[in-house]
Amino acid sequence: MIRVSKRLTGGSRAKVSEPQFYANKAVQEYAQFKPTPITLRQLLFYERHRTNERLLKSANYVRQELPIRIAHRLRDMQQLPFIVGMNSHILTVYQLYLDAFERLRCCKPIETLGDNARFCQTLQHSLQDHLVVIPHLALGMQECQEYITIEKRDNFMNTLLRSRISRRVLAEQHLVLSGCPPVVTSAANDDLPESGKTMVFQHCKAQQILRNCISRLEPKYPGIKMIIQQSCDVEFSYVLDHIEYILYQILRNSLCHTKSRHPSHLHACPPIYITVCANDTDVYFRISDKAGGIPASVYPQLWSFGRHGNFKNVKTWTGTINEQIANENDPAAAQLMPLGMGLPMSKVYAEFWGGDISIMTLDNFGTDAYVRIPKLGDQLEHLDEEFSASD
Ligand code: COI
């Protein structure tokens, strides 16, 4: 059951009208509360057994939970080195979070379907506004590379992204329960159904997800075969966007490196082999390439948001934040975001519901990526680690 805490009732506090970066009592007050993590199975239960009573319960849980989760991230941003916190991109993210925090904490308890309809508009508004967060973060972190250690930056990014996933899942799930489209789709996303998502958790078929990723990638890397060699067709409930993101990203890395290793004989490129299997608790994907492996000097930096030029694309990228926003509405396009964060981001997605990614490499030969996705949905959201500003 989703628990609705009575500790914060909302609606009674004065609104903070400007970004008081280091002194915001409401943020401090909310950040004292720990988030209440939930499992995928709890969310799924609400999606499958919708009643008005559960809808209002869900609304009040989301209403109380989001400001707490945002307050923790606002506090993290306050702990960044001053020069990083004052970067214009980071400040933009801070302001967006502060606005959402205020909007949400000022929502009164939701007692009727009418209250819920208004609350849903607030959620839609916030989801839409926050589409710019990732590009701004990437640009901000790239501009501040010299002012923050790599460890702190990774810690900050991991915590922030994990929390962002959690908030967006909660908000989208509640909108779906309420029959509202989670995000207004843009003209750039003709391939999305008009009403947007109708379910956050979808009945996922491992082979189908892989085939979708392959068919999107094939035209971009002609001549490199992706072969599903051994596969049981596992079916399970999961957040489809999350798995698609991970598999697309890993396949794309393999294709990209295969292409660089064999630039002039694409027709003779070694194929990428994919294996899917499952046991009672997990689904496993293995993606194997012969793209030359990862040098020992690069391997330890694979999961870093800042090392080995992971932000290098941001520096040379000539697109606009608006293009990024258009892309973010479309998981397929978002996977192409040239922000250089695909691999660490995939790990955040995989670990979010208790899965993981590991990479084994033979330098000068090839790489195997292993993705484990728990299929029972009984693990709590991975929220526990906090950003630590101290060394
Ligand atoms: C985010 O996208 O970062 C959010 O926090 C969205 C939420 C306020 C609905």
ipTM of this complex:
0.95
pLDDT value of residue 308: 45
Dist. CA 59 → ligand 1 center (Å):
15
Kindly report the average pLDDT of the chain as a whole number.
82
**At how many degrees (to 10) do helices 150-177 and 40-48 cross?**
20
| Per-residue pLDDT tens digits for 242-269 | 999 999 999 999 999 999 888 776 567 8
Question: Where does the pLDDT of residue 183 fall: very low under 50, low under 70, confident under 90, or very high at 90 and above?
Answer: low
Provide the phi-psi class of 68: left if phi over 0, else alpha when psi is between -120 and 50, else beta.
Answer: alpha
Dist. CA 36 → ligand 1 center (Å):
16
Dist. CA 300 → ligand 1 center (Å):
31
DSSP secondary structure code for residue 228 in this structure: E
Q: Which residues contact 138 (CB under 8 A, 6 or more apart)?
A: 311, 314, 339, 340, 341
pLDDT value of residue 316: 45
DSSP secondary structure code for residue 380 in this structure: B
Any idea which residue has 């996933």 for tokens? Answer: 165
Give the closest residue (by CA) to ligand 1 atom 2. Answer: 130
Question: What is the pTM for the complete model shown?
Answer: 0.83
Dist. CA 124 → ligand 1 center (Å):
9
Question: Where does the pLDDT of residue 373 fall: very low under 50, low under 70, confident under 90, or very high at 90 and above?
Answer: very high
Give the closest residue (by CA) to ligand 1 atom 8. Answer: 126
| Per-residue pLDDT tens digits for 267-308 | 678 999 999 999 999 999 999 999 999 999 888 888 998 754
SS3 (DSSP) at 248:
helix
Dist. CA 108 → ligand 1 center (Å):
19
For the segment 137-148, the average pLDDT, to the nearest whole number, is: 90
CA-123 nearest atom, ligand 1: 9
Dist. CA 101 → ligand 1 center (Å):
9
Our mutation pick for probing the ligand 1 site, out of 124, 130, 164, 180, counting the most ligand atoms within 8 A of Cβ, is 130
DSSP secondary structure code for residue 1 in this structure: -
CA–CA separation, 270 and 362 (whole Å): 15
Could you tell me the CA-to-CA distances from 319 to 145, 209, 289 in Å, in that order?
21, 29, 31
CA angle 16, 139, 20 (to 5 degrees): 15
CA-170 nearest atom, ligand 1: 9
Which residues line ligand 1 at a C-beta cut-off of 6 Å? 66, 70, 100, 123, 126-127, 130, 133, 164, 167-168, 171
Our mutation pick for probing the ligand 1 site, out of 63, 66, 73, counting the most ligand atoms within 8 A of Cβ, is 66
Could you tell me the CA-to-CA distances from 151 to 116, 157, 348 in Å, in that order?
41, 10, 16
Provide the phi-psi class of 390: left if phi over 0, else alpha when psi is between -120 and 50, else beta.
Answer: beta
DSSP secondary structure code for residue 26 in this structure: H
CA–CA separation, 303 and 90 (whole Å): 22
| Per-residue pLDDT tens digits for 75-114 | 999 999 999 999 999 999 999 999 999 999 999 999 999 9
Q: Which of 345, 313, 347, 390 is nearest to 142 (CA)?
A: 313
CA–CA separation, 259 and 60 (whole Å): 50
Among the ranges given (32-46, 199-213, 300-314), the one the predictor scored with the smallest mean pLDDT: 300-314
Dist. CA 126 → ligand 1 center (Å):
6
Distance of CA 190 to the CA centre of its chain: 22
